[in-house]
Structure 1
């Protein structure tokens, strides 16, 4: 079901109970869309800049742009250009620069270390070309290579060029093949990954099944009620158990999404 509204057209559904905000990083800026179940309500371009990544926790968000890392009401932080952002386990913003610098924001930025080609940050973990890292007092290499994405909360997951991995007693194989994105909900009850064969969902630990999506997905996440995904061409997909609904957001060059309940 495709709705061809442009980004300048906004519509609010009457039933907003349990609505979540989906934040979409795109070439034109940050899109914020209200999602109630699988229905997309009001959406629009909330901040204009080339956005590389976005992360959210509670009522806070952090945005990576080609110019700086933004927090609050898109307040600058003097980090400089960023390629990935997230939060550590204590809720402090983390950012990665194109030069590999990883830093934490408290009273200003504190550099924690460097990695090779940082690609994603989540829940105190960093995905990079030279492996996966955890953030504590500094950076600790926890193995793997060619890591494209990580889910660092609860039961950690890593999407790599060689396969999908789960962290337990060391990294354990979940699926073979090249993967580019992975996510799980807050309770680790639902998980999904994007790989060379398309979108997969986890039905139980170690058991992943393919799911047919109406378009090629670049990132995936979860609200309380639905699985949500985005395409590089700017479509938002939502499935609350009755199939996918699709909404064109009117942007291009989409790279990441984040969910803010």
Structure 2
């Protein structure tokens, strides 16, 4: 059976052995949990039905954003936190969330860190918003109309007019309308609607030839590089090229790894 012939089932996730990576994929269908071993995308299950807007991993468990609340994984159950609807989640000394107008930190209760308009994403100690890149306390770091940001290593920002990196000010690395960017401090990827880019060791960016069409909406790192497309393809590259499987999801918003 090929990767694309597996249909979505509501059964427990295959553990895949001790070397397996567990991924959570947020989508308009619900939250899917996926087992990935190296570059083999294994079995998956629908853990929560209903639209999910964001997902992150904090202290060895997943947190999930919806239009009603932010839920955390506790003893295989998703428990509400009382935040309300969320558009972005992150991990900075614990769970961080935004409803698009404020950023707050969770430690048993929510503490507001800043008030910002049109927050779009959170990564580490940075947030992307209509007004630019900000620290979580609201301090403006530069740019405007930022779609996504990556804080690890050299900060990166995805905007409608290019992909930027922070040096002596923000410098444009690649022209184009970028939708997402990610880095683990060493590896880095970014995507427009049509193309995924990878940063070389010398700092240059080049397009990646993927085995599927579709817009890449999020990238994550473990032993390999993992990506998801808006129409539900899950891709993995452990060093020998990209493999993929369709998860049968629509409206994918993000991916997180344990």
SS in structure 2 of the partner of residue 139 of structure 1: coil
Q: Deviations over 1:20-40 (max 9, x none)?
A: 111111112111111111112
1:209 to 1:69, Cα distance in 2 relative to 1, 3 A: same
Q: How many residues in Structure 1 have an aligned counterpart in Structure 2? A: 252
- Which of 61, 66, 89 aligns to 1:85? It is 89
Partners of 1:33 and 1:8 lie apart in 2 by: 11
The answer for the alignment partner of 1:210 in structure 2 is: 207
The answer for the alignment partner of 1:22 in structure 2 is: 23
The answer for the alignment partner of 1:198 in structure 2 is: 195
Partners of 1:127 and 1:133 lie apart in 2 by: 7
The answer for the alignment partner of 1:96 in structure 2 is: 98
Partners of 1:205 and 1:149 lie apart in 2 by: 23
1:107 offset after TM fit, Å? Answer: 4.1
Of 251-260 and 169-178, more deviation after overlay is shown by 169-178
1:143 offset after TM fit, Å? Answer: 1.0
The answer for the alignment partner of 2:165 in structure 1 is: 166
1:125 offset after TM fit, Å? Answer: 0.9
The answer for the alignment partner of 1:153 in structure 2 is: 152
1:93 offset after TM fit, Å? Answer: 1.1
What are the ranges of 5 or more consecutive residues in structure 1 without an aligned counterpart?
none
Partners of 2:117 and 2:69 lie apart in 1 by: 20
The answer for the alignment partner of 2:174 in structure 1 is: 175
- TM score, norm. by length of structure 1: 0.89
Alignment of 1:45-64 (within 5 A): 45-64=46-65
Partners of 2:202 and 2:58 lie apart in 1 by: 25
Partners of 1:14 and 1:121 lie apart in 2 by: 29
1:150 offset after TM fit, Å? Answer: 1.1
1:197 offset after TM fit, Å? Answer: 4.7
RMSD, aligned α-carbons: 2.0
What are the ranges of 5 or more consecutive residues in structure 2 without an aligned counterpart?
none
- TM score, norm. by length of structure 2: 0.90
The answer for the alignment partner of 1:122 in structure 2 is: 123
SS in structure 2 of the partner of residue 63 of structure 1: strand
1:37 to 1:237, Cα distance in 2 relative to 1, 3 A: same
Contact 1:125 1:152 in 2 (8 A): yes
Partners of 2:177 and 2:253 lie apart in 1 by: 17
The answer for the alignment partner of 2:6 in structure 1 is: 5
SS in structure 1 of the partner of residue 255 of structure 2: strand
